[in-house]
Each structure stands twice: as C-alpha cells, then as structure tokens.
Amino acid sequence: MKDRASFLLPLTAAVMFTALLLWWMRGGQWTSARSGGGRVSAPRAAGGSAPNANAVALAVAVGIVRAAQDLAGSPEAPALLQARLAALLGRPGALPNESVLTFKDAAAYEAFLARAAAAGLDIAGRLDGLLTARVRFDSLDGLAADLLANSGDYTDVVANDIVVPPAQPPPPEDRPGGPQAAVGNKLLDLLGVTGDHSTWGQGVTIAVLDSGVAADPTVANRLRMLDLGLGTAPAADDGHGTAVASIAAGAAGDAPGVAPGADILSIRVTGDEGTSTLFTLAEAIMKATDAGAQVINISMAAYSDSAYLNNAIAYASEHGAVIVASAGNDQAASLAWPAANPNVISVGSVDALGQQDVFSNSGPQLSLTAPGYDVQAAWTDGGRVYFTGTSASAPVVAGSIAALMSANPGMTGADAAQILQQYSSDGGPAGADPAYGSGTVNLGWAMNRNDPARVDTAISSHYYNNDTGNMEFVVQNRSGSAVSGLTLSVDTGTGANATAVPPLQPGETFTAAVPVDETQLETAGKLTFRTTLANPPGTPADAVPANNRAASSLTAPAAPASP
C-alpha cells in the first residue's frame, strides 16, 4: 500500500543557438552559477528549480568573459562576441536591450562607469556595493567592443531576467488531495498568541518587497515607503503587498498581524503589469538593508537566481538583516528563489489544521511552514480578502521574527529565526522533513519557551508511512520543562489501545506506530483513526488542550480505470 497519506479531518530557438556556441568555451568547462526567468505574482507566488536552459545560459554568460579574453585581437572577435551576446541577452524571459554587468574590483567598476556613455551604454541602475551595473543599449556593438577591450575587468555578463510565469514550471509532486481548512481571522489563535500583543515588534522594521503597500488603517501609522523608481502606491486592485504587510504587522481587528508594533518599510518592486526583475529584487534588498530593516519579506518567487542576487542576499545577512521568502505554490519538490538560497528563511504553507497545503512547494532546504490558506488580510481598497499561498505564510514568519526580537532586546533576526525553528510544531514524520521543514510556527511556545511552569503536550501529526505500511502518531512535548507519565490512546475503529509515552524533554517527540490492515481498508474504502493524549494526574492545566485530540482518515486508492 504505497503513496497513500492520512489527512487531518474537519472530518527553444535561443537555447539551440546557445548550444551551437558552446564550442567557444575553453575546454568545455561550465561554471556553477545560474540565471534565467521566474515569476512574481499576486496573490500567488510561484516556485521550483531553474530549468536546464537557465544553467546553459549562465554558463554561456561566464563563457562570454572567457571568450572575450581568448578572442581579443582576432578580426572575427566582434561578430562572434555579438552573436553570443545576442543569444544570451535576447532570449525569452529577459528584458530586451539590457544587461547586468559585474566587475572584479572597485577600480574596474568606476572605470566602466566613466566610459559607459562613450560606449553607447546607458546606466539604468547601480549596485555599488556589489560592483554591478544595469545597462541599456540600442546596439550590441558598444557592449561587445567594451568587453573585448576590457575583458579582464569583468566577472559576469548576464541578462536582466524578468520575473514572470515560466513556460514550464517544475513537475508537481504526486500528492493526494483532501479538504483543507481556512484560517480566516483565526491566525493569531493558530499561532498560540493570547492576551495583549500590541507591543510585539516595537523597535523592529519589516521591509515588504512587493507590489506596494496601501495606507490601510491596519498599518498606516507605522508605514513608510522607499521608491526605486517604480512609484510607491500599489497598482489598481493589486493588494498583494498590502495583504502581506497586514499579516506581518497589522493592528486592526479585522486584519490582525503577528507583530502590530513593528514598522513597515514598503518597497515596490513590480511595475503596473505586476512583474519585476532579478536586478530590482537585488536592488531592493540592498536598499532595505541600508535603510535599517532588520527583517525583509519577499512574498514572490523566481525560477532562477543570479550571482548578484545571491550577493545582495549575502550583503543583507552580513549587515544583520534576515530575509524571509515564500517557497512557491507549484506543488513542486523544489523551492523557488530566493527561498532556495541557504541564507534565506524559506516558508511553506499549511492550513488551519496544520496540514501541508497541496500547492506548497517542498524541499530539503525548507526552513518552516506557517498558515497560508484563506488568511483574512487587508487589500488596496480598504476591504478585506481571504489570501492564500506561501505569499501569506512568509509574512507570518517575518512578523514572528519581529515579535521575538522586540521581546528579547539585542536578539538578532537570525537568532529569532533559529528559535522559531527550534520551537515549532512538528508536522508529518517526526523531525525535519521536506514538506514541513523544521515544523509549523508556534509563536506562543517560542515566546514562552523559558517558562518552566508552562505545560503543552500535543499530538503533533497523524502520518502514513509508505515504507512500513504503518500509521504513525507523533507526540511532542511543547512545554517549558520535561514531562513524564503521558498516555496515548489510539482508536482504530475496531477498538482503542493505550500506549505509555516515555519521558519527553522540551521539544522532544515520540512516535507510536499501528499497522494498517490493508484487507480491511480495501473493504471499507476508508479507515478512521482517533487519538487522545492524556497528561498524568496532578499536571498543571494544559496551555493548549485542543491539540491533545486529533482525528484522521486513510482512504483506499482508487481502482485503476478500465482500458
């Protein structure tokens, strides 16, 4: 009985030309850098790994620098180099007549800036800290000539990739569908937030790199904006950025956020058509960091990265900012960029019952999951919407990081992110896994992790193990101290049995396994499992008694269709 799972119940041409040009690469060696097209979307954030064509394109990009060095002095050099540049910069998914250039040192960079106009290259954007410039041109003549004459100054020549829907998203994982529970206006309850949390996030700035944030009352008094040249106000009816900001730091009762005391720095990175570029994302990361943002939320995703984007992420990390990004919504077994970058806190999505949302991308790099299914949020017109996707999950984590930082003066964003991962609700099989990362954000536990009197024992998940044919029931101690004497009762529908749970330290898990009777399953079509976790007599009241009961069902596979 394989590939079944239990569900918690609410009961092209440029590429071909590129390949022809690869023989110019010395020794046929390629570099490991990547580039290519991707996606920004509202309210959906895409995900996945870069198609092979992108790796080819970046290999050619670095090969251009090498080829320019090899071809210098050859009469055929200008034509050959222009052909290669045309293949790289003119492919689908790149802004036409643009390139992003990176230089080996400050002297080489400044020298290029001084001569760019004479070469017919218009400086459209600068990342001075990364020695990178975005240029526009009417003809490739000037760029090819400058590259031939100064090849030793360059380290990278790439296209300015548009972040747009890919023609071929990564193949989806084969996941069984099932009912999913809306979060609605219960986000804070699901995170374990109780009482007055109005000061959470004070002194912390969350940068929202998105479609712009409207001056909605839920964030207006704490909202400032930074213009990259795209304007600051959202495009008509594009409330994606406003929804993200409200989830992270909203203060209104009908659009409550996780850290209502935090300041929001809105940086619009999309044009009126709703798309962005990798250069714009890199620029926004640099600007947000320099403006003092401690947390940077990116609820968008691309199908490729670039060396300069990764350098911008590293710049943010080196200057104390932590980046949180959505994993993507393509049901793929790989993360989108920038979430796939190891310096980024990547976030997948779960519903109100803690189930992985069927659309949420997964992968071994996934850091955390957070509620992201029909989350009530603000929109551009002052209205309220149900917002779905890993775009909604990422700001939950961004707000949670800000909340921890404000409650623990001197704590860095990276430290706060590590605490969220350590004190998260386990999902799926025990321990970190590609679907849930370290687990689902449990802010109540993280904020009260040092309270030895707090008791919260929980049934963390019901999980069908394809390898063993067993149903597994994971128990987790989310208390502030060790707990002994727990009893787990499992009702399989034909009777209940009790299992003694060994002593558990804070955060520790225990898994009870029950073999599945396949004959019974095939006959009945569905088996239902109900579990109850009992704390020993004399234990203080459980902080979250609702998570001491859980139910799930396992369905028989559909019969194969008749030929």
- On whether both 249 and 346 belong to a single domain, the answer is yes
Query: pTM for this one?
Result: 0.86
- On whether both 265 and 353 belong to a single domain, the answer is yes
CB atoms < 10 A from the CB of 64, how many? 28
The answer to whether position 46 is within a domain reads: no
- Residue from 349, 362, 391, 425 carrying the catalytic annotation: 391
- Catalytic-residue membership of 438: no
Predicted pLDDT of residue 168: 57
Sequence-distant (≥ 6) Cβ neighbours of residue 452 within 8 angstroms: 480, 481
- Give the residue numbers spanning the domain of 199: 187-446
Q: What is the DSSP string of 333-347?
A: SSPPBTTTSTTEEEE
Predicted pLDDT of residue 262: 98
Query: Which amino acid is located at 551 in the chain?
Result: A
Predicted pLDDT of residue 393: 98
- On whether both 375 and 309 belong to a single domain, the answer is yes
- Catalytic-residue membership of 189: no
- Residue from 49, 153, 240, 357 carrying the catalytic annotation: 240
Contacts 24+ apart (CB under 8 A), 13-19: 14/87, 14/90, 14/91, 14/92, 15/53, 15/56, 15/57, 15/91, 17/87, 18/56, 18/57, 18/60, 18/87, 18/88, 18/91, 19/56
- Catalytic-residue membership of 240: yes
26, two tokens:
């010395």
Which stretches of the chain drop beneath a pLDDT of 50? Answer: 1-60
Predicted pLDDT of residue 17: 31
- Residue from 156, 161, 210, 456 carrying the catalytic annotation: 210
- On whether both 236 and 126 belong to a single domain, the answer is no
Predicted pLDDT of residue 59: 41
Task: Find the CATH number of the domain harbouring 142.
Answer: 3.30.70.80
- On whether both 429 and 506 belong to a single domain, the answer is no
The answer to whether position 310 is within a domain reads: yes
